[in-house]
């Protein structure tokens, strides 16, 4: 059983979750940035993680899933500034599932990640009310993903592995 953990992370949040997932999983395993992954061939399972950017999965991750996930067993994790309860999260997960339509998606996980200050500043200046609202939410995300969220990620990864 060989497992890959691959991630896109611009400000470090998804990387923290990726490292928690990696720590938790047993057996032969590798962790790397998604940009370094040439193919998912040779892995029995790939955990693939990315942030939400502009109300959609990070474009590089989306493209990777579209081009490389067909016929593969994957588990998707994502981080976002919105709270996990936000109804937007389901829409973003649907977009990720759509990008990985040819894959066998064994499970998904998502959690809040701190929105970087330059992004908050940019959003607050936006003319679009939706962007401004999101900017106002920014300061409440400070310190995320915290230890409790990382612990949830570890428990999720273990559960995924135990069900295979
Ligand atoms: C350009 C940009 C756009 C973003 N758009 C959204 C968004 O639409 N919804 C959301 O919940 N978070 C959004 N965020 C916040 C990130 O998804 C969140 O901070 C995430 O945890 C970042 O992960 P990373 O540190 O691994 O890059 C955005 C962040 C950036 C940089």
- Cβ of 13 less than 6 Å from ligand 1: yes
- Say if pTM beats, i.e. exceeds, 0.95: yes
Contact 161, 3 (CB under 8 A): yes
What is the rounded CA–CA span in Å between residue 46 and residue 54? 25
Q: What is the pLDDT along the chain (164 residues), one digit of tens a residue?
A: 999 999 999 999 999 999 999 999 999 999 999 999 999 999 999 999 999 998 999 999 999 999 999 999 999 999 999 999 999 999 999 999 999 999 999 999 999 999 999 999 999 999 999 889 889 999 999 999 999 999 999 999 999 999 98
- Cβ of 79 less than 6 Å from ligand 1: yes
Contact 108, 96 (CB under 8 A): yes
- Cβ of 132 less than 6 Å from ligand 1: no
Half-sphere exposure of 144 (CA within 13 A, CB side): 23
**Distance of CA 97 from the midpoint of ligand 1 (Å):** 18
E strands along the chain, which residues?
A: 2-7, 28-33, 45-51, 73-80, 104-112
Domain ranges in the chain? 2-114+144-163
Name the burial class of residue 79, with classes exposed (0-12), middle (13-18) and buried (19+) by CB atoms within 10 angstroms of its CB.
buried
Q: What DSSP state is assigned to residue 86?
A: -
**Distance of CA 115 from the midpoint of ligand 1 (Å):** 6
Q: Backbone phi, then psi, for 87, in 5-degree steps?
A: -70, -15
Cis check for the bond before 135: say yes or no (omega within 30 of 0): no
Which pairing describes strands 28-33 and 45-51: parallel, antiparallel, or unpaired?
unpaired
Place of tokens 């998606």: 105
Query: 2-114+144-163: which CATH number, 3.40.50.2300, 3.40.640.10, 3.40.50.360, 1.20.1250.20?
Result: 3.40.50.360
């Amino acid at each position: 059983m060989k497992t890959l953990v691959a991630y896109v992370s611009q400000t470090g949040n998804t990387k923290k979750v990726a490292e928690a997932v990696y720590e938790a999983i047993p057996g032969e395993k590798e962790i790397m940035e998604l940009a370094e992954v040439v193919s998912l061939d040779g892995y029995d399972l790939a955990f693939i993680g990315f942030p939400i950017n502009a109300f959609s999965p990070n474009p590089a991750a989306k493209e990777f899933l579209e081009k490389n996930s067909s016929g593969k067993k994957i588990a998707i994790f994502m981080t976002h500034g919105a709270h996990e309860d936000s109804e937007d999260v389901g829409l973003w997960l649907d977009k990720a599932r759509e990008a990985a339509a040819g894959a066998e998606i064994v499970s998904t996980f998502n959690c809040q990640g701190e929105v970087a200050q330059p992004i908050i500043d940019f959003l607050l200046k936006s003319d679009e009310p939706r962007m401004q609202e999101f900017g106002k939410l920014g300061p409440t995300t400070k310190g995320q993903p915290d230890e409790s969220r990382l612990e949830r990620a570890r428990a999720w990864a273990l559960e995924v592995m135990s069900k295979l």
